[in-house]
Amino acid sequence: MSYDNELYQQVILDHNRNPKNFREIKNATHHCHGINPLCGDDMTVYMEVDSEQGVIRDISFVGTGCAISKASSSMMTAYLKGRSLEESRVIFDEFHKMVLGELDPEKQEHHLGKLKLFRGIRDYPSRTKCASLAWHTMIGALDKKTEEISTE
């Protein structure tokens, strides 16, 4: 018997155990609080944005959630650090489409790099929001949303 499924790959389990950028940024230029009311996942994304250059200098998160949401947050922060705001929005869009099954990274062009391992989520509709919470919250931070971001 094995758990060789697309949902819980080793990389995801590793990020769940030792999430990257799991900390607060003291003088964050942007931050946002996101919740998934259906399962109680709760997180805050912090960003330090260089608005002159249009670049994310630092990005981090804190909060509670399942392995999928933790790994997704961890990998998102690692992937976006140093990227331009423009790029980040494109990647958000592609990630979102991929987990909904609207973009197949095996067949279509994309900028998702290793984030494509979240492709399997599309077969588990009840879990897609776990993977996308961090991303919605990141966009909420960029858009300077003051109210809570909710997946519902």
Partner 1 sequence: MPDSNTGLATKSALDIEKVRQDFPVLSQTVHGKPLVYLDNAATTHKPQCVIERVREFDAEQYGTVRRGSYKMSEQATLLYEEARQKVADFVGAPDRKEIVFTSGTTQAINLVAYSYGRKFVNAGDEIIISNIEHHANIVPWQVLCEEKGARLRVIPVNDDGELIMEEYEKLLNEKTRLVAVNHISNALGTINPVKEIIRKGHDAGAKVLIDGAQSSPHMKIDVKDLDCDFYTFSGHKMYAPSGIGGVYGKMDLWESMGPYVTGGDMILQVTLEKTTYAKPPARFEAGTPPITQVIGLGTAIDYITEIGLDNIFEYEMSLLDYATRLLGEIDGLRIIGNAREKASIISFVLDVAHPHDVSSMLDQDGIAVRGGHHCAQPTMIRFGVPATTRASMAFYNKYEELDALAESIRKVIKLFS
Q: Provide the binding-site residues for partner 1, judged by CB under 8 A.
A: 1, 3, 5, 7-8, 13, 16-17, 38-42, 64-68, 124, 127, 130
Query: How would DSSP label each residue in 95-124?
Result: HHHHHTTS--TTTS--S-GGGGGGGGGGG-
Nearer to partner 1 (CB atom), residue 10 or residue 51:
10
Most distant pair of Cα atoms in the chain: their distance: 54
Nearer to partner 1 (CB atom), residue 62 or residue 85:
62
Number of helices (H), then strands (E), in the chain: 4, 4
Instruction: Supply the minimum distance, in Å, between the C-beta of residue 56 and partner 1.
Output: 28
Nearer to partner 1 (CB atom), residue 42 or residue 148:
42
Instruction: Supply the minimum distance, in Å, between the C-beta of residue 101 and partner 1.
Output: 17
Give the integer Cα–Cα distance in Å for 62 and 151. Answer: 17
